[in-house]
Structures are given as structure tokens and as C-alpha cells.
Amino acid sequence: MNPPLSYRLLKLYTRTGLRIYFRQWQSAHTERIPEQGPFIFVANHQNAFLDALLVVCGIKRNPWFLARGDVFKKDWAVRLLTFLRIKPVYRFRDGHAAMRNNDKIIRECVDILKQGECVLLFGEGSHNEAYTSRPLQRGFAHVAFQYMDQTGKDIAIVPVGFHYEKHEAFRSRVLVQYGEPISAQSVIAGIDDERERFNPLLHTVGASMRSLMLVVPHDEQYPQRLKYLLNNRHPQPDMLQQLEADRKLMKEWNASMSSTSRKRFDWRWINPIAWYGKLVHLPTDLIMQYIVSKKIKDDQFIGSVKVAVGIFLIPIYYLLAILAWYLVTGNPLFTLTFGLSLPLSGLVAYNKP
């Protein structure tokens, strides 16, 4: 069932915004995604709802996905999120009564699959520290098993791995990599006990998902490992190559290694266009800094909020600035030149080396 035209237009608009937000947005092995029929994406989760946007806007299919249930409290929010193909999922902190609703959400995900559509589930259950991974939760397996039990058909699971160059930075790079589809039926073949079906599927999907991402051990030395990675990373032209270079760097790390940052001269600031770009974007910078510093309690929402606010704030600011310029100058040619200078100077000012 295709989503309405309004959804597809919003998806196109958001995809354009993501192309601007990221200096490089690389989707690898999209040919592995089934072109039709039901399947389940199982992804790692490091960057709040930005992870979901990168999948939804980066492929032809239009998956449903889950978001934390506490944002579904208002009727208008329910209508909006349902339009966006989002369903709620509840956590322990939401209380036992709320968590009982998860059984209903699993049934609804199964119904979506029965209609030939796909769903995106974050296997770890919630977003995680940058470059780490936790054991997968059973949610996606429940959906898969209920679908197979009710239809007698197999279901494919497509692992997804994200690799961010910098999780919070504008004009950084990101890799979204898709694994080979996994046949749930093949994984559990020969296992008759329903309770014993979970571990093989969790293990197989988890191993495949982690092969698509960078996994830094989340131990007492994690902060030192992360600092060393960020300060000594060797930039690569391709994000698949960057992932391999980062893995190699982490294999070489030991506690005695220095993580001193290597300072590189920022050539942007000898370019007057960069200074101009910073100046004309100062109002939006100040608004964004206020939102990030005053309104965001969880750092892992910073990148997502920057995208969400920027996609709508920047065009409105551009329109107001162009209108103000025209009212002051009264010159259409000067106004056109000023309007074109806004996005071009912004890219020069914010494209970090």
C-alpha cells in the first residue's frame, strides 16, 4: 500500500535536507533490499530519530518504524506520527501498564507485514553510546515469529549498520550499510521448542548487524578509546574505506597510546566568503545553539534536532532575509544575488575540512 502523495513529497523534501546536512551520505548495498514483499529491517541505534530518517529517506521502500511511546500522548501527535508511519513502543520507565501495549504494537507490525510492507526496528531497544553495541532485544524476533506462525511463510530480516563520522556535527559524513537478507526460517530450522528459537535468531542477526558498523568495547577504557579514535582518525574519501580505517585504528589502540589532537589549519577562514556565510547565518546559529544547550537533555538527540530544526528553520529564515533585503534595496537583481549567496556562502562556511 503506497503512502499518500503528501507523505512522498515530505520524504523528498526531507531527503533534500539530509543531502545538505551531510557532506557525504553514503548508502551501501541497497541492492540487497527486497523491492517488494514483507521484510524486517533490524538496525543499530546511535543517533535518535536521525537513524530512522536515513533509512526511510535513503531507499525506495517506505517502512514503518517505532518511536518512544511518551511522544504519543496527544491526539494531534498520534495523527501526525501515524501519518509519518511511526508507531509507539514503550519502555520500563513508562510503567508496566504502558508496556503491556507493546503486545498490541507487535500485532500491528505483523499486520503491516501481512499487507506486503516492511518495518524498521532498532534491535538494541533504545539508542546507544556512539560506536558501541548491546545485545539485541527480542522485539523483532517476536514480530518475525508471529508473522511466520500466522501465515506459514518465511520472513526476511535485513540488518542495517550506521557509521557516523561525527554524530552531532553539521556537514559531516555518514554511512548506512545494508546486509544480506537473513531467512528467519532457515535460522530456526529444526528447533521445535518455541522458547529456544530466539537465541539463534538474535545471535545471527546481531552478528550480521555488527559486521556493518564500528564496535568499540564499552568498558572502563571506552572514553580513552573514543578520544583516540576522534583525534587520530585518518580521513578516507569513501565511507566504507573510513569504516575499515577506523576499525584498524581501534585494533591498534592500547592504553599507553597518546590521544593528543592533531591540529590542522582551517583554510576556510582565509576565505572572505566563509566569513560572510558565518555572518549572514548568525541568527540561525544562535537559535540552534539555544535549542541545543537549553532544550536537549540527551546528547544523542543533538544531531536529530539539528536536522529537524534546520530543515524548517533555514528555508523560513532565507525567505524572511530575502524579503527584508528587497524591502531595503528595492532592486530585484540585488535581491536575487543576495538570495543565491545565502546557501552558497553557508556551504563554504560550514564545510569543515
Based on the fold, state whether residues 14 and 129 are members of the same structural domain.
Answer: yes
Q: DSSP H helical segments within 134-238, as ranges?
A: 139-151, 184-187, 198-210, 222-232
Residue 63 lies in a domain: yes
Does the residue 105 lie in any domain?
yes
Are both 62 and 167 inside the same structural domain?
A: yes
- Locate 210 and state its grid cell: 555488527
Q: Which three cell numbers stand for residue 3?
A: 503512502
Whether residues 75 and 190 fall in one domain: yes
Instruction: Report d(CA 189, CA 185) in Å as an integer.
Output: 6
CB 338 within 8 A of CB 320: no
The CATH number for 206's domain is: 3.40.1130.10
Domain-embedded: residue 303: yes
The confidence score (pLDDT) of residue 129 equals: 73
Residues 98 and 62 in one domain: yes
User: How many structural domains is the chain composed of?
Assistant: 3
Q: What's the pLDDT at 92? A: 66
261 domain residue, yes or no: no
What's the burial of 171, exposed, middle or buried (CB within 10 Å: 0-12/13-18/19+)?
A: middle
Statement to judge: residues 155 and 242 lie in one domain: no
My answer on whether 205 and 232 are in the same domain is: no
Residues 120 and 200 in one domain: yes
Of 260, 193, 270, the residue nearest 228 (C-alpha): 260
Residue 230 sits in the same domain as residue 180 = no
CB 180 within 8 Å of CB 132: no
With respect to residue 215, please indicate whether it lies within any of the assigned structural domains: no
**Statement to judge: residues 149 and 57 lie in one domain:** yes
pLDDT profile of the chain (353 residues), mean per 10: 90 95 96 96 92 95 88 84 88 69 91 96 83 92 96 98 92 96 96 90 97 93 91 92 96 78 70 93 93 81 87 95 96 96 92 75
Q: Which domain holds residue 230?
A: 222-252
Q: Does residue 196 share a domain with residue 51?
A: yes
Let me know: does 54 contact 134? Beta carbons within 8 Å: no
**Residue 182 is assigned to a structural domain of this protein:** yes
Residue 216, in any domain of the structure? no
Q: Which residues of 40-70 are buried (b: 16+ CB within 10 A; e: fewer)?
A: bbbbbbbbbbbbbbbbbbbbebbbbbbbbbe
Residue 262 lies in a domain: no
Same domain, 67 and 130: yes
* Nine cell digits for residue 50: 536521525
Q: Are 342 and 280 in contact (CB under 8 A)?
A: yes
Closest-CA residue to 210 (of 254, 163, 251):
163
Q: How far is CA 50 from CA 21, 26, 238, in A?
A: 11, 14, 21
- Same domain (yes/no): 169, 233: no
Q: What is the pTM of this model?
A: 0.90
DSSP class of residue 2 equals: P
